[in-house]
Amino acid sequence: MRSQSSEQSVPAPRSAPFPEDGEVAVLPVGDVHTEAGGVVRDVRIAVQRWGELRREPDGSTNIILVEHALTGDSDALTWWNGLIGPGLPLDTERFCVMCTNALGGCSGSTGPASRHPDGRPWGSRFPALSIRDLVTAERQLLDALGIDRVTAVVGGSMGGARALEWTLMHPERVGAAAVLAVSARASAWQIGIQSAQISAITNDPEWLKGDYHSSGGYPRQGLAAARRIAHLTYRGEQEIDERFGTDAQDGENPLGVFRDPSQRFAVQSYLDYQARKLIERFDAGSYVALTEALNRHDIGRGRGGLNKALSEISVPTLVAGVDTDILYPYHQQEHISRNIGNLLGMAKIVSPVGHDAFLTETRQVARILRRFLLLAADEDQE
């Protein structure tokens, strides 16, 4: 199954140059063979790091690997602002903080919008990914950089799913893990709402079965619809209601004689704005590929089921969630914490913001990350 194609496979490079501090490097990591039996040829992974790398004689490093969420990128300094830097929880005077753009993404790493080795965009030829495939690509990057082991892997949402898979796929290479605002597998509700987003994109006439990249068109309306739905799952309903309620958008009247999409409630304008921002920076094919990877998230698959897989996690792991999270409700993090083999700690982010609180409640996340690193260091010395 690993190599069905007759094309020549690209071996992983032995040693890639280490990225400059703060600069995006895009490094070849060879072919990635997916869990389902597909191949992404000649993958490149975008990576950034902040802080000096230190290698210990035993192969370990001071790297903290930060994992981004669905529409994130390698620039963790921006999307996790206030948490990475000198004296901050992910202290770049002590650690080398590293972040890669996920396989399937569109911010430097190989994804559906990238060129296939034949020169045309991957488009519909891009295989379906699982969360494990994203970890595989990242592991191949560490191989290429000659990095055997990291101090910790940390992430929220899709990033948390990857952090959790790291602890099962490569426990010997991870000192500790912090897993935020995610579950041990997709829930049926998540699959349902995520599939609604995928359908919104694939039903757009400009999707062209995923091969729109050289068509001149773009499934803009579909991606916007997907983002509006997604955003409602990222935000707590009380927070959104406190901000917008039934207010009309300034200068518009959503209560006219006839329904008129140009006359909006304030919340519609807000969601349109979120959608517009995403369309400008994100590829619809990447959105579909990574949302599909979230649908396939299940650490129990092929490992004797969910709780058996959780019980076999030996990497010290801190689990955190948000009390108002609709998408990954807190009971899902409680489930992980009850069943995980090596629980380092449990933390609750208290916020009206909902799922996105792992990005926005900087002070609470800072405390959680400081505690995580203290506990992990303590564990390491035992």
Per CB under 8 A, residues contacting a copy of itself are: 34, 36-38, 124, 127-128, 130, 185-189, 191-193, 195-196, 198-200, 202-203, 205, 221, 225, 228-229, 231-232, 235, 237-238, 240-241, 243-246, 254-259, 261, 265-268, 271, 288-289, 292, 295-296, 298, 301, 326, 329, 331
Does 227 appear as a known binding residue?
yes
The CB-of-219 to a copy of itself minimum distance in angstroms stands at 11
The CB-of-222 to a copy of itself minimum distance in angstroms stands at 8
Those residues with Cβ within 8 angstroms of residue 252's Cβ, 6 or more apart along the chain or in another chain: 262, 263, 264, 269
Which C-beta is closer to a copy of itself: that of 243 or that of 338? 243
Cβ atoms 338, 321 nearer than 8 A: no
Which residue, 199, 202, 194, is CA-closest to 124?
202
Does 356 appear as a known binding residue?
yes
Which C-beta is closer to a copy of itself: that of 78 or that of 215? 215
The active-site residue out of 114, 157, 286, 351 is: 157
Tokens 């590929």 map to which residue? 289
The CB-of-288 to a copy of itself minimum distance in angstroms stands at 7
The CB-of-342 to a copy of itself minimum distance in angstroms stands at 24
d(CA 311, CA 318): 14
Which C-beta is closer to a copy of itself: that of 54 or that of 303? 303
The CB-of-26 to a copy of itself minimum distance in angstroms stands at 25
The active-site residue out of 231, 325, 335, 351 is: 325
Q: Is 116 a catalytic residue?
A: no
The CB-of-109 to a copy of itself minimum distance in angstroms stands at 19
d(CA 84, CA 66): 10
Which C-beta is closer to a copy of itself: that of 268 or that of 314? 268
Q: Is 157 a catalytic residue?
A: yes
Which C-beta is closer to a copy of itself: that of 54 or that of 338? 338
Which C-beta is closer to a copy of itself: that of 43 or that of 99? 43
State the catalytic residues: 157, 325, 355
User: Which residues are part of a known binding site for substrate?
Assistant: 227, 356
User: Which residues are part of a known binding site?
Assistant: 227, 356
